[in-house]
Structure 1
Amino acid sequence: MRDDHGELAAAQQEHWQHTYTDHPGMYGSTPSAPARHAADVFRRAGAATVLELGAGHGRDALYFAREGFTVHATDFSPVGLRQLDAAARAEALAERVTTTVHDVRAPLPLPDASVDAVFAHMLLCMALSTAEIHTLVGEVRRVLRPGGVFVYTVRHTGDAHYGTGIAHGDDIHEHGGFAVHFFPRRLVDELAVGWDLVDVHAFEEGELPRRLWRITQVAR
């Protein structure tokens, strides 16, 4: 088990940099199923501005822009965001998409109550400690307007990889260089305190398959 969480975080950032460099557009251009769901939820809520956390090379950010939202995309990988910027220009979506290199362990680079919706597909279940996840969700609440919607997905403790691979403590396990914080249900409920928890939807994605929850909650 690795004791230095900062060391793990730095190693993960480097790993993602190499991954996006070696595999440009690795997730393709088709939006994820959670992003398609989120777009519908955001539209029904009257949202116009969306913050995506952990946007990577941007398949979901670009989808939100195509759907008419103004998107601010963040990621800790400059390589991934450069690919997103290039794709936005190629699709004539640059006016709808802005990007910022940002590590979610730091405060979000936005003013209070400045966005209508926040989306994060498997960002909260990266190599973040439980304390860091709580702090991040507090930051999401800060930047959302009252009534704003937060849709996020996480791999959970029912996933086949949970409890295997390299253990880093705090329900974090590493496979193939990728460290994942697997969520128990109690963590989802803790993160929803002070919010209106609308939905916790179980679904599967990719190989194994990965087992995830899609959580929708609304800022009070």
Structure 2
Amino acid sequence: MHDQREQPDHANIAAAQQQHWQTVYAEHSLMYGMEPSEPAHHAAELFRASGCRTVLELGAGHGRDALFFARQGFTVCATDFSTVGLEQLTAAARRTGVTARVTTVTHDVRDPLPLPDASVDAVFAHMLLCMALSTEHIHAAVGEIARVLRPGGTLVYTVRHTGDAHYGAGTAHGDDIYEHGGFAVHFFDRHLVDSLASGDWQLKEVHAFEEGELPRRLWRVTQVRH
């Protein structure tokens, strides 16, 4: 169990990170470009093969992956705690003609999801769960994902892990959270991945890959709701 004295620090870090992302998106419009991530390509194939129609993306940012899912024919609910990012997503949806298949919701992943039980077919989260979240918040978020997923629904998420070059670098905030260059990351170990797939879940795959400069070292995790 984590020392309760860490909890106020977690809250302060998360609030600072929300403001940081608002500023980043405002100063660097569409900062990740409009090409979908490789994990989104993989997820779309899985979702289609399972007969999925509705996708919830957590931490959608300015929407490169959410818009890709919409272009693939899925109905998408995209959430993020940055209103600036979601405004860019909405504008891009209009430009690309997929407005009818995309809705956006401003949402902090530390809060319960504003969706009914068993209401979506699949959930996608690219580097959202490894943001500045405590282990307790991560477990609670995955519990909420299980609640809103239909039985047999698929969760695909990616996280930076403890083999990443930035693990242990920068400012340490406890709970395997390190801040480097203004971005705070909760680096996952395998125990955390396995614990998130217990109970309501069947763990299907933990795939190691690299992305971007450094490069960042990540796991792409696929698990299915019982």
* TM above 0.5: yes
Counterpart position of 1:54:
59
Residue correspondence of structure 1 range 1-220 to structure 2 within 5 A: 4-194=9-199, 195-220=201-226
- CA distance in 1: counterparts of 2:65 and 2:154, whole angstroms: 16
- CA distance in 1: counterparts of 2:10 and 2:205, whole angstroms: 31
1:4 offset after TM fit, Å?
A: 1.7
Encode CA deviations 1:159-195: one digit per residue, 9 max, x unaligned.
Answer: 0000110000000000110000000000000000021
Question: CA, structure 1 residues 2+178, in 2 after alignment: closer, same or farther (shift >3 Å)?
Answer: farther
Contact 2:176 2:188 in 1 (8 A): yes
Structure 1: runs of 5 or more not aligned? none
Contact 1:2 1:8 in 2 (8 A): no
Q: SS where residue 4 of structure 1 aligns?
A: helix
Contact 2:163 2:217 in 1 (8 A): yes
1:6 offset after TM fit, Å?
A: 1.0
1:181 partner letter:
H
1:55 offset after TM fit, Å?
A: 0.1
Encode CA deviations 1:76-99: one digit per residue, 9 max, x unaligned.
Answer: 000000000000011110000000
- CA distance in 2: counterparts of 1:184 and 1:213, whole angstroms: 10
TM-score (norm 1): 0.99
- CA distance in 2: counterparts of 1:129 and 1:40, whole angstroms: 31
Question: CA, structure 1 residues 52+85, in 2 after alignment: closer, same or farther (shift >3 Å)?
Answer: same
- CA distance in 2: counterparts of 1:4 and 1:151, whole angstroms: 29
- CA distance in 1: counterparts of 2:166 and 2:33, whole angstroms: 24
- CA distance in 2: counterparts of 1:217 and 1:2, whole angstroms: 29
TM-score (norm 2): 0.96
- CA distance in 2: counterparts of 1:3 and 1:218, whole angstroms: 33
Q: SS where residue 33 of structure 2 aligns?
A: coil
- How many residues are paired up? 220
- CA distance in 1: counterparts of 2:7 and 2:180, whole angstroms: 14
Structure 2: runs of 5 or more not aligned? 1-5
Contact 1:115 1:143 in 2 (8 A): yes
- CA distance in 2: counterparts of 1:97 and 1:52, whole angstroms: 11
> How much is the aligned-residue C-alpha RMSD, in angstroms?
1.0
Contact 1:17 1:77 in 2 (8 A): yes
Contact 2:9 2:173 in 1 (8 A): no
Q: SS where residue 158 of structure 1 aligns?
A: coil
Q: SS where residue 99 of structure 2 aligns?
A: coil
